[in-house]
């Protein structure tokens, strides 16, 4: 059965295997197809780690990673039950913070390689912004480089984490409706080295676009700070910066011949992100 997937997917299938045949034998499997070797290698490492560690319940179990022509076929446990976001912003933010912190700790056990330096990451992301938003007059390349340089100094002491980078409610699931608090994170297609606070970019962008509900990101950042010891100001700067990186990518995908209303909305968001970054860098000196 085909399923819809994200931008990084080459196709997702749901395989029905019949009645569950005992512990460790699922009745349903997801087959995700990807051209991204990095994603396949991450799932291979996760599969090996899960074979030796039965306590890793945050991520769906990986049952196989197979190369096929120019794609990789990833076979994972199907996690069927979406999780409703808590109604109040404090609980929602704290839940996202706990999930992000657990994910970062888990990835630290699964993937033992040394992370790149902060300035290396920021330079790479700065180039991504420049390429994606080259035709956006709201973004001055010199201003973006200056912001990246200031962040490299301000956040130099931070250790990067392997971040999910797509932490929103559609990717928070439960394997069992009778155990609603046993959360699992799905869709590892965007996992990469990043600043820890970048994990909350989606909630930051949503708030800056004028969401009607109370913002979640302050509660997520404050609780993650309590869990990790990272200063809230540093987490906030990281969320704003990666929000800019992702918004530039969205701008690139919005065709100039498409919806002018959507392009104007993304342009306003890019402008607000740059303005907030400038402000936060000044007040946090």
pTM recorded for the entire structure: 0.92
- Rounded (to 5) percent helix, strand, coil in the chain: 50, 15, 35
Beta bridge partners of 192: 163
Instruction: Give the model confidence (pLDDT) of 124-148 as tens digits.
Output: 999 999 998 888 887 899 999 999 9
Beta bridge partners of 162: 193
Structure tokens at 224: 């993650």
- Residues (pLDDT < 70) of the chain are 1-9, 19-24, 54-56, 177-181, 255-259, 285
Residue 262: what pLDDT? 82
Instruction: Give the model confidence (pLDDT) of 71-83 as tens digits.
Output: 999 999 999 888 8
Return the axis-axis angle of helices 232-253 and 217-228, rounded to nearest 10°.
130
Q: Which residues 6+ apart lie within 8 Å of 215 measured at CB?
A: 89, 203, 206, 207
Residue 135: what pLDDT? 86
Residue 35: what pLDDT? 94
């Amino acid at each position: 059965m085909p399923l819809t997937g994200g931008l990084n997917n080459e196709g997702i299938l749901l395989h029905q295997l019949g009645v569950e045949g005992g512990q460790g034998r699922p009745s349903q499997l997801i087959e995700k197809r990807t051209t991204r070797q990095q994603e396949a290698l991450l799932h291979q490492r996760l599969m090996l780690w899960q074979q030796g560690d039965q306590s890793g319940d945050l991520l769906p179990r990986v049952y196989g990673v197979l190369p096929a022509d120019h794609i990789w076929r990833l076979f994972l446990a199907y996690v069927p039950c979406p999780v409703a976001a808590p109604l109040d912003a404090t609980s929602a933010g704290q839940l996202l913070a706990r999930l992000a912190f657990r994910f970062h700790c888990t990835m630290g056990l699964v993937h033992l390689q040394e992370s790149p330096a902060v300035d290396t990451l920021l330079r790479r992301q700065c180039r991504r912004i420049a390429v994606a938003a080259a035709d956006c007059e709201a973004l001055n390349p010199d201003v973006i480089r200056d912001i990246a340089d200031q962040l490299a100094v301000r956040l130099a002491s931070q250790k990067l984490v392997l971040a999910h980078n797509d932490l929103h409610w559609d990717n928070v699931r439960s394997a069992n409706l009778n155990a609603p608090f046993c959360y699992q994170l799905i869709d590892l297609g965007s996992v990469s080295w990043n600043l820890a606070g970048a994990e909350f970019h989606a909630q930051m962008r949503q708030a800056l676009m004028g969401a009607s509900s109370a913002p979640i990101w302050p509660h997520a950042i404050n609780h993650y700070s309590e869990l990790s010891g990272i200063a809230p100001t540093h987490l906030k700067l990281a969320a704003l910066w990666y929000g800019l990186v992702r918004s530039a990518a969205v701008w690139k995908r919005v065709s100039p011949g498409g919806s002018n209303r959507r392009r104007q909305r993304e342009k306003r968001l890019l402008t607000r992100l740059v303005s907030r970054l400038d402000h936060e860098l000044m007040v946090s000196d």
